[in-house]
Amino acid sequence: MKVEYILDNDVDKRLDKQLRSLLSLCFAKPSDKRFKTQRYYNEMPQHRWLVRSKDKTEVIAHVAVHEKSVTFKGQQFPIAGVAEVCVHPDHRGNGHVKHLLAQAHQWMISQGYLYSVLFGKDEVYGSSGYQRVTNLYLVSEQEPYTATAVSAMVLALKQQQWPASDVELKGLSF
């Protein structure tokens, strides 16, 4: 299985259409209809890892990564926000997610990220080393500033454990 890395800025019209097709197929909640017209949920990720079909006519597996930071105890730390993880139903069970995440994790470490954060299911991401945390707060970027507690999954990419105190993530969820 060949994993491709691409900056989102380099996505052409053909790949955009393939990504929207896969994302629309994988995400079926009413709010996910946005994938028919855009290749991102709330905001455009900067990085993508994907697996294409042998004839390159479709993307069969995909992971997006946002460059983010979190704040705790007054300090900011870089995180990689994992989003839009999906595999075409005909290609599930072949280890694509694990393989894509492994490639993305290597890149995250090389870029100096301390943590990889995602919003997902324990049974899917636990085997890739992610652990559930409940001390992450999404903080709005506009007044009045509000903080909403969210449940997320975190993978420590270096030897630094996720903090026990409250952690703030400004902006939109990914």
Q: What is the pLDDT of residues 6-22, one digit of tens each?
A: 999 999 999 999 999 99
Name the band, by pLDDT with cuts 50, 70 and 90, for residue 32.
Answer: confident
127-165 pLDDT, tens digit each? 999 999 999 999 998 888 899 999 999 999 998 899 999
Q: What is the CATH number of the domain that holds 46?
A: 3.40.630.30
Kindly give the pairing relationship between strand 131-139 and strand 147-156: antiparallel
How far apart CA 129 and CA 148 sit, in angstroms, is 25
Domain that holds residue 61: 4-170
The residue to which tokens 């026990």 are assigned: 164
How far apart CA 128 and CA 101 sit, in angstroms, is 8
Nearest to 155 by CA among 115, 122, 127: 115
Question: Is residue 34 within 8 Å of residue 41, measured between CB atoms?
Answer: yes
The total number of structural domains that make up the chain: 1
105-120 pLDDT, tens digit each? 999 999 999 999 999 9
Q: What is the mean pLDDT of residues 71-85?
A: 95
